Amino acid sequence: MRREGCLIFGAGPAGLKAAIELRRKGVNGPDLTIIASSESPPYRPVYSTTIGPGGRLLAEYLSLMPADRVTFLDRIRVLAPGVDFTVSVPRQGSYFTIDYPSLVAALKREAQELEVSILEFPLTTLARLRIASGEVAINGSVFEPDLVVDATGVDAVLASRVEPERRGEDPWVAAVYFKTVSGFMTSPAMALIFGPAGGTSWLNPSFEPGCLDLVYSAWVRKSKMTEFLEEARCRWEELAHFCQQVPGIEVGGRVIRDGWGMIRSQPIPPPKSRLIYPLGEAAGLALPGSGDSLRLALLSAELFASSLRQGLTPEEFWRRVTAYHRYYLFFAMVLARLSFQEKGNLGGLVRILGQWLSSPTASPQLTRAIERYVIEGKLSPQLFARIMRQREFADYLLRVVARWLKVRLGLNSDHSNHYPLPPLRGA
């Protein structure tokens, strides 16, 4: 039996950052171990922002990464059928794309410099780990930690093992399917693409010169991933076809890599266990589609370290961290996302925003409010009031709310991933 102060499962951004912050804050003395998977971190076409405290955390780490593993983007291009406008991104609120494996490697180096021990096991072994009455058994080794951090990402392996109410949980996730392909964009922008393939998607420069990451994403039940993947391949082709028609974008035929993954769309229920602190993606603190998941994962790790110092229990910590989450998960963002799926396009929203942005009478405040909505997902009360005054949009929002309520109350038996997506070309 090995006694550990704090055992952290998962060497992703949240787990590594938690260890670094605990060390920096001097919590838990020398007994701090990360249980990591020995497989190298997968590539993910990740973008994020420097806005807010999490953004500052990220920016800090970006300086540790090789410069060619980070691309700053000074504009975002919004594309939908019949819509093509570009929003410039202020320097303060930069968007950037990051090479996820390099970020993890930089965090790992720092954790090791702070003498955090990292024990590596194959993921297959870790999938079978047992946790009972405060003891954790992995492949014959038994640990008795004072506390456990579950930073295992979307599967939330530990929390779901010990929390009875988590067993039946079947959360909605944002499912992501991507390919890195040869190609180029004439200006280094990120393109957010709504509609043509049914989900919300994006295209951004990749880290290989002359390549692009083209990503298809849609909401799906976790249990329906097989169906999602089958459909996603066709939807991705549809997306590539759409992008090939857009001036300034060239999507070539050479595929460098492909992959898929899930991003949780909702926080887990409050933890009952007094042993396990769920963090980052495992706690469901992501904000799919906003480019904020990564920084929220890092932010949750920082909040965790300060909460532990204040002696907060897992449940108290969860309340603290979800308060941040609620703020970010402003309902318009979620509803707008649901409606993309239902209608296969952005309804009136992109058109209304586009009209305002291009209108010569648009006030600078309104333009800024729209930029904040598009870039940061934050809707100011003034902008919300103006949107609601557009009859077309108010009607559509009400329909979306009604549908959302039906789904939440279990009145909608057709609650599956079979959205009325736009027909595939040639279908």
Ligand X SMILES: Cc1cc2nc3c(=O)[nH]c(=O)nc-3n(C[C@H](O)[C@H](O)[C@H](O)COP(=O)(O)OP(=O)(O)OC[C@H]3O[C@@H](n4cnc5c(N)ncnc54)[C@H](O)[C@@H]3O)c2cc1C
Q: Site residues (CB under 6 A) for ligand X?
A: 9-15, 35-37, 41, 44-48, 126-127, 129, 151-153, 155, 157, 176, 178, 261, 263, 280-282, 286, 291-294, 297
The least distance separating ligand X from the CB of residue 37, rounded to whole angstroms, comes to 4
The span from the CA of 382 to the CA of 57, in Å, is 30
The least distance separating ligand X from the CB of residue 170, rounded to whole angstroms, comes to 18
Q: Sign of the C-alpha dihedral, residues 26, 28, 31, 35?
A: negative
Of residues 159 and 387, the one with the C-beta less far from ligand X: 159
The least distance separating ligand X from the CB of residue 381, rounded to whole angstroms, comes to 26
Of residues 42 and 90, the one with the C-beta less far from ligand X: 42
Of residues 220 and 383, the one with the C-beta less far from ligand X: 220
Q: Sign of the C-alpha dihedral, residues 338, 172, 43, 198?
A: negative
Q: Of 310, 297, 49, 272, nearest to 163 (Cα)?
A: 272
Of residues 13 and 198, the one with the C-beta less far from ligand X: 13
Of residues 286 and 350, the one with the C-beta less far from ligand X: 286
Of residues 47 and 328, the one with the C-beta less far from ligand X: 47
Which residue has its beta carbon closest to ligand X?
12
Of residues 284 and 344, the one with the C-beta less far from ligand X: 284
Of residues 298 and 346, the one with the C-beta less far from ligand X: 298
Q: Which residue has the tokens 């907060």?
A: 312
The least distance separating ligand X from the CB of residue 188, rounded to whole angstroms, comes to 16
The least distance separating ligand X from the CB of residue 412, rounded to whole angstroms, comes to 27
The least distance separating ligand X from the CB of residue 369, rounded to whole angstroms, comes to 23
The least distance separating ligand X from the CB of residue 290, rounded to whole angstroms, comes to 7
The least distance separating ligand X from the CB of residue 382, rounded to whole angstroms, comes to 28
